Structure 1
Amino acid sequence: MRDVTVLTETDLRACVPLNLAAIDVVEAAFRALATGEVVMPPILSMDLPMVNGEVDVKTAWIPGFDGFAIKVSPGFFDNPKQGIPSLNGLMILFDAKTGLVDALLLDNGYLTDVRTAAAGAVAARHLAPETVETAGVVGTGVQARLQLEAAYLVRPFRKVLVWGRNADKADACARDIGRALGVETTVAASAETVVRESDLVVTSTPSREPLIQAEWLHPGLHITAMGSDQDGKNEIDPTAIAAADLYVADRLSQCAVSGEWQAVLAKGLDGGRTPPELGVVIAGAEAGRRRPDDITIVDLTGTGAQDTAIATHALACARSAGAGSVIQT
């Protein structure tokens, strides 16, 4: 018989906050990717246009981690019409040495939200300017809120600008961020205003048309783009990426087929260069921001390494707190 820990979303929300510990464990996973010893297959991705849905399956085995996770993440975007959430999902955590199941994490996407926001904070920690006065976000969903909360932990800022296509949603998002962080938060008139007036910008939309233009970039700007995670999605005009001093991918092979780099390649604007990955920058094998005036862009498509990191972290937190239930198999 073997004990398997079962954790619900309620359990996980109570014991796995978005904090520096979560950011650090995600950073450790990125650093491990730079060693070349991580086993991380390509994302299994299904686009389901007939039901306005998509499903991603991600995993990674990381040396030194007690376990490895397989994460199933469905998004069915007509669900709100039925009064149910668009996103859900779960993670299965296996023992890294035996392959036996350690835990079932019924998180409904909560851990994905945490690890995605943590990855944004890791990008800001290593590539944003040392001093950030104004942070901006293009998008008004859950990640718009969490990305700013995570970034604030590593680059505290005084002001936030929010822009979204829906004015009511943008206003609600701005209010939520202001309450959470206690900083001045306003709705910007346009995405252009957000970019031109911010030191750090996060884009968190499912857009398939560029929202950020090259002429809006300015010295010292950092952008973390995290909305493009499927073939055809594109938040940043490829000419803007070509104009930046540094473009960094979370996983270049993924960004070439589902991230911002895909559009750069399609337009032939790559210039024959091979951009560095975030883990390599973290490890110090490639330079990040070289000068205060550099314009930097990080492209986050989401990796299985992040899922393994947050799942192992979640189980450790749960055991420490005595959370969840145990079944025998």
Structure 2
Amino acid sequence: MLIITEDEVENLLAEGAMVDALIDAVAAAMADLSAGRVSLPPRSAALIDPVTVTGLLDMPAYVPSAKALTSKLVSVFPTNAGTAVPVRQAVIVVFDPEDGRPAALVESTHLTAMRTGACSALSARLLARPDASTLAVLGTGVQARAHALTVSRVRAFRELRLAGRSQEKASALARELEGQVPMPIRVCGSFEQAQDGADVVAAATYATEPVVRREWLAPGTHVSSVGYHPRGRELDDATVADALLVVESRAAALNAVPPNRDLADPLASGVITEDHVHAEIGELVAGTATGRTAADQLTLYKSVGVAVQDAAAAALVLRRVGGHVRAGS
């Protein structure tokens, strides 16, 4: 069995062409999901603390088009927030779909962040205005870094804005990203400042109170939101209510366990109904649903994460490393 380390994954995904390939791989997987071609059981959890959702998640998936049979194990430890240890750490086990042999173990903390960013990038590719020129990334952690690296690939952005709860951490992330993104970087003093006039807002925070607010968003903004806090929210009600809402999977978004409050709260209070979900992102990829219809339309992609993204990403990495996977080779 091949073991692919975190360093190998990070080095591989440092190449712009590989990031583009990852976005394309995730697009194909999302189209498969929406067309009903995948096997995606509900994730299971072994929780140390159900209140903080601390513990271990298991996320299996089979994606026939990529011939990827995988299971991701991800630990979630919210108490790691603000430390050198990521809140989420993961490995993906890849099996040969023809005879069931374990083919590879892929360290996947960085891969998880990048596949999440890749789907946000896909949402921007499909929903952001063609002339979008300013990208705002909210957050300072591994997901924020991944979003800067991925979302910046899909439009000719002329400025990247960064904002977080700590301006010191935002400045450190800006220094880390210098030379890795093809645009000037500006560290903003607040979330509101970062969103002022931004064309694309990529939120990747561990917020307890909304950091994306409707009154801060310009007409025609595209928002991607991947943040999750068991007792908090990243988006306010007005943003969710006013936006053309796209999700990865209706079932996953509306019935997430534990619930993602960015959608669960406005659903529970009657601000929106389940019919407010306009489309799955895979339907946009396949052309079975429409996206943006006006330049001033607010669009929103809300992610809860689905294992088909991990399967597609791991299969891509394994092919590029040269490991033996009948699937996708």
The TM-score range, normalised by the shorter chain, is 0.7 to 0.9
- Which of 2, 13, 33 is residue 5 of structure 1 equivalent to? 2
User: Is the counterpart of residue 294 in structure 1 residue 293 in structure 2?
Assistant: no
Moved more, 8-17 or 60-69: 8-17
SS in 1 for 2:251: helix
Q: Superposition pairs for residues 157-172 of structure 1, below 5 Å?
A: 157-172=157-172
Name the SS for the 2:65 alignment partner: coil
RMSD: 2.4
Pairwise CA distance, 1:236: 0.3
Asked if the contact 2:34–2:249 (Cα under 8 Å) also holds between the matched residues in 1, the reply is: no
Please give the secondary structure, in 2, of the residue aligned with 1:234: coil
Cα drift, residue 264 of structure 1: 1.9
Q: Retained in 2: the 8 A contact 1:12–1:318?
A: no
Q: Please say if residues 159 and 183 of structure 1, whose CA atoms lie closer than 8 Å, have aligned partners that are also in contact.
A: yes
1:109-258 aligned within 5 A: 109-228=109-228, 231-244=230-243, 246-256=244-254, 257=256, 258=259
- Secondary structure of 2:71's match? strand
TM-score scaled by length of structure 2 = 0.88
**What residue is the counterpart of 2:65 in the other structure?**
64
Q: Which region of structure 1 is more displaced relative to structure 2, 303-312 or 137-146?
A: 137-146
What letter is aligned with 1:124? A
> Can you list the C-alpha shifts for 1:155-182, whole angstroms capped at 9, x where unaligned?
1201121111112111112233343214
1:6-155 superposed matches below 5 A: 6-17=3-14, 19-49=19-49, 53-79=54-80, 84-105=85-106, 107-155=107-155
Distance 1:80 1:198 in 2: 27
CA drift at 1:314 = 1.2
Residues of 2 paired with 1:289 and 1:83: CA distance? Answer: 39
Kindly indicate whether the alpha-carbon contact (under 8 Å) linking 2:86 and 2:142 is maintained by their aligned counterparts in 1.
Answer: no
Task: Encode CA deviations 1:26-47: one digit per residue, 9 max, x unaligned.
Answer: 1110111121121111222455
* Residue 284 of structure 2, aligned match among 277, 281, 290: 281
Q: Is contact 1:226-1:300 (8 Å) kept? A: yes
Are residue 265 (structure 1) and residue 267 (structure 2) matched? yes
| CA distance in 1: counterparts of 2:233 and 2:79, whole angstroms | 21
Q: Tell me the SS of whatever aligns to 1:91.
A: strand
| Alpha-carbon distance between aligned partners in 2 of 1:299 and 1:170, rounded to the nearest angstrom | 23
Structure 2 unmatched ranges of 5 or more: 325-329
Q: Is the 8 A contact 1:238 1:267 kept in 2?
A: no
2:322 aligned residue: 319
Distance 1:195 1:50, change over 3 A: same
Greater CA deviation, 175-184 or 150-159? 175-184
Report the 3-state secondary structure (helix = DSSP H, G, I; strand = E; otherwise coil) of the residue aligned with 2:153: helix
Secondary structure of the residue aligned to 2:103 is strand
**Equivalent-residue separation in structure 2 for 1:45 and 1:283 (angstroms):** 32
Within 1, Cα distance between the matches of 2:82 and 2:237? Answer: 34
Report the residue type matching 1:67 in the other structure. Answer: A
2:301 is the counterpart of 1:308: no
In structure 1, runs of 5+ residues without a counterpart are 323-329
| SS state at 2:4 partner | strand
In structure 2, C-alpha distance between the alignment counterparts of 1:205 and 1:113, rounded to whole Å: 12
| Number of residue-to-residue matches in the alignment | 315
Query: SS of the residue aligned with 1:72?
Result: strand
